[in-house]
Amino acid sequence: MLNISEKDITEKDIDLKKYKSYAYVESKKTNRTLLQIIGLTFLVFLISMFLPWTQNIHTNGTITTLKPGQRPQTIQSMISGRVEKWYVQEGDYVKKGDTILFISEIKNEYLDPNLLNNTKNQINSKSSAVKAYQEKVNALNNQASALIKTAKLKEEEYANKLKQTKLLIISDSMAHQAAIINYDIAKAQFKRMEELQKEGLKPLTDLEKRNKEMQKAQADLVFKENKFLASKNKAINVVVSNNATAAQYREKIAKSKSDKFTAFSSMYDAEVSVSRLKNKFSNYNIRSNMYYITSPQNGYVTKTIQSGIGETIKQGSQIVSIMPENYELAIEMYIKPIDLPLVQIDENVRIQFDGWPAIVFSGWPTICHGTYGGTVYAIDQFISDNGMYRVLVATDKDDHDWPDALRVGGGTRNLLLLNKVSVWYELWRSANGFPPDYYVKENKK
């Protein structure tokens, strides 16, 4: 009772036992039961504080594929063109090499229907020009060789002529000396004869005869001297002629070599032109094969990005998206930088897929139902644009298989399992805001 009134009401004034409710409540012994419940609850709580608890990191993720070549991809057009014909539609299964789309050319430089044949004819013409220049080079080589041989023969001829001229000079020199001696003798005889004739010892006819002989010896001397000088001039002419001939042949040989190098230059230019034309021909041939856009691998056409007939598409534009037929699923998730040192390769992960019911106890993964096992496959070495690090999780081969109905792009909720501690320690760590314990995983080997 509150005893608000100034007048006290005691049990003597009111007989409470005649009220059934009061009698029922009074008959119950609640104090002992409540104490038992409180004690039992405290005991359970105390025991639970020493139960093992698995530290973990919560994070969301998406389903992807383990290998880049198994992920959904878009097919781009290598060249610009106009859509002419579709060979597939969304949902179709295609094999590697199957034609998806045919496009036609829109650039002016490739519109010629005989482009390949014309380019091939140009290649043949330039190749013939290369052969002609090669033959010209060979002819000039032969010409230069013939000139060199002729020049050598001319040198030998010059040596012979020079030797003959030198011998002729020696012979004429000896004849000239003999003529000088004969003239001196004839002159001396004439003087003696002249003295004898003055003394009257010899007749005038003998003096005239000696004078005639002296004039004849003098004439012979002049002739032999002239012949000697002519031999010298002949030797000089031989040397001059040889120099002129050698210069002439050097000029011819130099001109032949110059023509040969010019032919070489023209031949090399023609070869460059042939190489360029062959390159163009290869490019044209490859480009003609790009009109048919084919599937790079087996898979399913999921979406046609370009549509319609006659629509123009640009080079590198996306046309269709394909999902590969065979792929190995993985989980792509992101963790905070503070948790990065705690995650290691082959670390266990519990995964809950969107659309699959599950009962999850984060601290006791062994009693979870509806979750699937995974292991950390790769960790990025650089931070992502969202300020977290990407982690790739593959299937755990020691756990049961993932559902077959999973599709790339689905969502997941993941638990990265870390160290095992007591419940009281985990509560104390969480209350203080401490990160999970750092630890080194033991090597199974």
Whole-number percent of the chain with pLDDT over 90:
6
* pLDDT band at residue 25 under the 50/70/90 scheme: low
pLDDT of the residue at 393: 92
366 occurs within a structural domain: yes
**Are 66 and 82 part of one and the same domain?**
no
The rounded distance, in Å, linking the Cα atoms of 144 and 131 is 20
The pLDDT of residue 290 is above 80: yes
12 occurs within a structural domain: no
The pLDDT of residue 322 is above 80: yes
Among 90-94, 229-233, 327-331, the least confident range: 229-233
Mean pLDDT value across the chain = 80
77 occurs within a structural domain: yes
The gap from C-alpha 429 to its chain's centroid, in whole angstroms, comes to 54
The pLDDT of residue 250 is above 60: yes
What is the count of structural domains for the chain? Answer: 3
pTM across the whole model = 0.54
Q: Which residues are CB-contacts of 119 (< 8 A; sequence separation ≥ 6)?
A: 277, 280, 281, 284
pLDDT of the residue at 2: 52
**Are 165 and 257 part of one and the same domain?**
yes
Domain that holds residue 284: 115-289
**Are 183 and 243 part of one and the same domain?**
yes
pLDDT of the residue at 163: 82
**Are 183 and 77 part of one and the same domain?**
no
pLDDT of the residue at 11: 54
pLDDT tens digits, 367-411: 566 688 889 999 998 898 889 999 999 998 888 888 888 888 888
| Boundary-marking domain end, from 307, 324, 341 | 324
157 occurs within a structural domain: yes
27 occurs within a structural domain: no
**Are 250 and 396 part of one and the same domain?**
no
Burial class, 134, CB count within 10 angstroms (exposed 0-12 / middle 13-18 / buried 19+): middle
pLDDT of the residue at 396: 87
**Are 138 and 196 part of one and the same domain?**
yes
* pLDDT band at residue 439 under the 50/70/90 scheme: very low
* Of 422 and 95, the one with more pLDDT: 95
CATH code: domain of residue 178: 1.10.287.620
For the chain, the maximum distance between any two Cα atoms, rounded to a whole number of angstroms, is 229
pLDDT of the residue at 1: 46
**Are 159 and 246 part of one and the same domain?**
yes
Q: Which residues of 289-320 are buried (b: 16+ CB within 10 A; e: fewer)?
A: eebebbbeeebbbeebebeeeeeebeeeeebb
Q: What is the mean pLDDT of residues 11-37?
A: 64
SS3 264: helix
* Cβ–Cβ < 8 Å for 378, 392: yes
Q: Which residues of 148-162 are buried (b: 16+ CB within 10 A; e: fewer)?
A: eeebeebeeebeebe
**Are 272 and 319 part of one and the same domain?**
no
CATH code: domain of residue 340: 2.40.30.170
The residues pairing with 86 across neighbouring beta strands, listed in sequence order, are 101
* Cβ–Cβ < 8 Å for 80, 433: no
**Are 218 and 127 part of one and the same domain?**
yes
Q: What torsion do the CA atoms of 196, 202, 203, 206 make, to the nearest 10 degrees? A: -90
Q: Which of the listed ranges 2-11, 49-58, 179-188, 263-272 does the model predict with the highest average pLDDT? A: 263-272
43 occurs within a structural domain: no
The rounded distance, in Å, linking the Cα atoms of 107 and 46 is 82
**Are 285 and 331 part of one and the same domain?**
no
The gap from C-alpha 299 to its chain's centroid, in whole angstroms, comes to 30
SS3 3: coil
34 occurs within a structural domain: no
* pLDDT band at residue 27 under the 50/70/90 scheme: low
Q: Which residues are CB-contacts of 298 (< 8 A; sequence separation ≥ 6)?
A: 93, 94, 95, 96, 324, 325, 326
Q: Which of the listed ranges 58-72, 162-176, 181-195, 232-246 does the model predict with the highest average pLDDT? A: 58-72
* pLDDT band at residue 44 under the 50/70/90 scheme: confident
CATH code: domain of residue 77: 2.40.50.100
**Are 377 and 405 part of one and the same domain?**
yes
The residues pairing with 374 across neighbouring beta strands, listed in sequence order, are 349, 395
SS3 20: helix
15 occurs within a structural domain: no
The H or E element containing residue 329 is strand 329-335
CA atoms lying within 13 Å on the CB side of residue 364: 10
Q: What is the mean pLDDT of residues 52-76?
A: 82
**Are 168 and 233 part of one and the same domain?**
yes
